[in-house]
Chain A
């Protein structure tokens, strides 16, 4: 692990977007990504809820990291995360009932989303509040980008268009079913790895 004084705030922020993208690189939080990335609307809604919880829990976990003995950290992380998830669920129900109905059970299930507890354990627990805030924002953006791209692909090919606009007459139903999710995520991961590897070899030949 890098020392925090060697790392700039830009690194903290950018880590979650590409280099440490939760879904494509760290491969965590795949389950909600597969389940929710059926329509763009759901994906954006889910990203907002995840961002709220991820940033909140990162801030809280790092703020109380001195109060948290290492044997107790998992239960404490869970309490913090549950609290934020429940708050997010109430807020969605009160201020955006349509979105809350669409996302349904996936909002409460953010509790077990590995992205959040993963960042709490791997980052927020050992870093300052400010760095954790940046890491949370970066990770949220990374999650938002990936789940939106997946949803865009799946909705377009599986439903025939985005939202009410239908372009394709005979959509490939499989794309909105679970297999379509696996295919899309796998393809994106492959592209990401290919791109990373090419960058590496180019750097070593220079």
Chain B
């Protein structure tokens, strides 16, 4: 009986020791890589924002028009501080996981560009929503035109990926909805 207790204590000691060493190693790697990871993420986000709203130079924290759990609205400014457009960051459930979409609109609420920020769709099928051939159909379209051709709209779906295409369109529309009513309640904090 005593030897069993001894064994258990010994095993617990070994596991705790190993876990402590592993956690220490992980903590060190985490601290070392965290700043770089954050930097890369920010760089990616800024690059993405600049891509959908090329005329804007600055997107500052205080330029959030509104932030909800699923949509973030960002005001873009030119270098001289002039507001030049807005960005909506929306999310809609795709085939596998939420598709994160960035929609840029100019000051007249016309779509400048649409970009997929994040998706987990099937590579080669749904993931093709990232390709220019699909996304270039969006700029300049009105909200009524934003529908798949098979839903009597003007957008060609990605072959074999109706669900992913539809989710992208829905996300874009969700972002636009706010802007089309933006004349009524301008919340820009300038």
Chain A interface residues (CB < 8 Å from chain B): 38-39, 42, 64, 67-69, 71-72, 75-76, 79-80, 82-83, 86-87, 90-91, 93-95, 97, 101, 104-105, 158-159, 173, 176-177
Contacts and interface: CB of A to CB of B under 8 A. Distances in A.
Interface of B: 11, 14-15, 18-19, 22, 25-26, 29-30, 33, 36-37, 40-41, 44, 118, 120, 122-125, 159-160
Contacts of B125: 173, 176-177
Contact of A91 (B33, B41, B122): B33
A173 B124 contact: yes
A75 B29 contact: no
A90 B30 contact: yes
Given A76-B15, A83-B25, A105 B33 contact: no
A158 B124 contact: yes
A94 B36 contact: yes
Contacts of A64: 18
B22 A83 contact: yes
B124 to A, nearest CB: 4
B40 A97 contact: yes
| Secondary structure class of chain A's binding surface, majority of residues | helix
Given A83-B22, A83-B25, A86-B29, 9 more contacts: A67-B14, A72-B15, A79-B18, A86-B26, A91-B29, A91-B33, A93-B40, A97-B44, A173-B159
Nearest to A96: B40
A80 B124 contact: no
22 contacts: A39-B123, A42-B123, A64-B18, A68-B14, A72-B11, A76-B14, A79-B15, A79-B18, A79-B22, A83-B25, A86-B26, A87-B25, A90-B30, A91-B29, A93-B33, A93-B40, A159-B124, A173-B160, A176-B122, A176-B124, A177-B122, A177-B125
Contacts of B44: 97
Nearest to A176: B124
A180 to B, nearest CB: 9
Nearest to B35: A94
Contacts of A101: 118
Contact of A93 (B37, B120, B159, B160): B37
A79 B33 contact: no
Contacts of A159: 124
Contact of B33 (A42, A71, A94, A173): A94
B33 A38 contact: no
A105 B36 contact: no
The 10 A-B pairs at the shortest CB distance, nearest first, are namely A176-B124, A94-B36, A94-B33, A38-B123, A83-B22, A90-B33, A97-B40, A93-B37, A94-B37, A87-B29
